[in-house]
A and B are shown apart, each in its own frame.
Chain A
Amino acid sequence: MATLETAPSTGASLRGARLPRYAPALAGALSIIAAVLVGMLLSWSIAGIVVLAVLIDLIGLTTWSRLVENARAAKNRLVTSLIWTSLGIAFVPLASLLYEAVSKGGSQINGRFLSWTMRNVVNEPGGIYHAIIGTLLITFAATIISVPIGLLTAVYLVEYSAGSRTASWIRFLVDVMTGIPSIVAGLFAYALFSLILGPGTQFGLGGSVALSLLMMPILVRSSEEMLKLVPSDLREASYALGVPKWKTIIRVVIPTAMAGIITGITLAIARVIGETAPLLIICGATPSLNYSLFHGQMASLPVFIYYSYTQPGQNPEILQNMAWGAALVLILIVMILNILARLAGRFFAPKSGH
Chain B
Amino acid sequence: MAKSIDVSDLNIYYSDFLAVEGVNMTIKARSVTALIGPSGCGKSTFLRTLNRMHEVIPGARVEGKVAVDGQSLYDASIDPVEVRRMIGMVFQRPNPFPTMSIYENVLAGLRLNNKKLSKSDADAVVERSLQAANLWNEVKDRLNKPGMGLSGGQQQRLCIARAIAVEPQVLLMDEPCSALDPISTSAVEDLIHELKEQYTIVIVTHNMQQAARVSEDTAFFNLAATGKPGRLVEMNPTKKIFSVPDEEATEAYISGRFG
A positions within 8 Å CB-CB of B: 162-163, 231, 233-244, 247-248, 251-252, 255-256, 258, 348, 350-354
Which residue of chain A has its CB nearest to the CB of B85? A242
Are the C-beta atoms of A354 and B149 separated by less than 8 Å? Answer: yes
Which residue of chain B has its CB nearest to the CB of A250? B112
Are the C-beta atoms of A237 and B97 separated by less than 8 Å? Answer: yes
Are the C-beta atoms of B159 and A350 separated by less than 8 Å? Answer: no
Are the C-beta atoms of B163 and A353 separated by less than 8 Å? Answer: no
Additional pairs, 14, CB under 8 Å, beyond known A237-B162, A242-B83, A244-B81: A233-B91, A233-B95, A234-B97, A236-B95, A241-B88, A241-B112, A242-B109, A242-B166, A243-B81, A252-B99, A256-B98, A350-B99, A353-B146, A354-B149
CB of B81, distance to nearest CB on chain A (Å): 5
Residues of B within 8 A of A241 (CB): 84-85, 88, 108-109, 112-113, 162-163, 166
A163→B57 CA distance, assembly (Å): 12
Within B97-111, the residues touching A (CB, 8 Å) are 97-99, 101, 108-109
CB of A20, distance to nearest CB on chain B (Å): 42
Which residue of chain B has its CB nearest to the CB of A164? B58
Contact of A242 with B98 at beta-carbon distance under 8 Å, contacts A162-B58, A236-B91 already known: no
Residues of B within 8 A of A350 (CB): 98-99, 146, 148
CB of A260, distance to nearest CB on chain B (Å): 13
Are the C-beta atoms of A242 and B82 separated by less than 8 Å? Answer: yes
Contact of A352 with B148 at beta-carbon distance under 8 Å, contacts A236-B53, A241-B88, A242-B82 already known: yes
- Give 9 closest A-B pairs by Cβ, nearest first: A353-B149, A242-B85, A350-B98, A351-B146, A241-B109, A240-B89, A233-B95, A353-B146, A242-B84
CB of A256, distance to nearest CB on chain B (Å): 6
Are the C-beta atoms of B85 and A252 separated by less than 8 Å? Answer: no
Residues of B within 8 A of A252 (CB): 97, 99, 112
A348→B101 CA distance, assembly (Å): 13
CB of A342, distance to nearest CB on chain B (Å): 18
CB of A161, distance to nearest CB on chain B (Å): 10
15 A-B residue pairings within 8 Å (CB atoms)? A233-B93, A235-B56, A237-B162, A240-B84, A241-B163, A242-B109, A247-B112, A251-B112, A252-B97, A252-B112, A350-B99, A351-B98, A351-B145, A351-B146, A353-B150
Residues of B within 8 A of A251 (CB): 112
Residues of A within 8 A of B51 (CB): 240
Are the C-beta atoms of A231 and B95 separated by less than 8 Å? Answer: yes
Interface residues on B, range: 20 to 34
CB of B236, distance to nearest CB on chain A (Å): 29
Residues of A within 8 A of B89 (CB): 236, 240
Residues of B within 8 A of A237 (CB): 91, 95-97, 159, 162
Residues of A within 8 A of B108 (CB): 238, 241, 243
Residues of B within 8 A of A236 (CB): 53, 56, 89, 91, 95
A235→B58 CA distance, assembly (Å): 14
Which residue of chain B has its CB nearest to the CB of A232? B56
A234→B148 CA distance, assembly (Å): 12
Residues of A within 8 A of B146 (CB): 350-353
A162→B56 CA distance, assembly (Å): 11
A239→B162 CA distance, assembly (Å): 13
Residues of A within 8 A of B145 (CB): 351, 353
Of the listed residues B53, B97, B149, the one surrounded by the most CB atoms of chain A closer than 10 A to its CB is: B97
Residues of B within 8 A of A351 (CB): 98-99, 101, 145-146, 148-149
Per-residue A-contact encoding for B140-170, CB less than 8 Å = 1, 0 else? 0000011111100000000100110010000
Are the C-beta atoms of A255 and B109 separated by less than 8 Å? Answer: no
Residues of B within 8 A of A244 (CB): 81
Residues of A within 8 A of B109 (CB): 241-243
CB of B168, distance to nearest CB on chain A (Å): 8
Residues of A within 8 A of B56 (CB): 235-236, 239
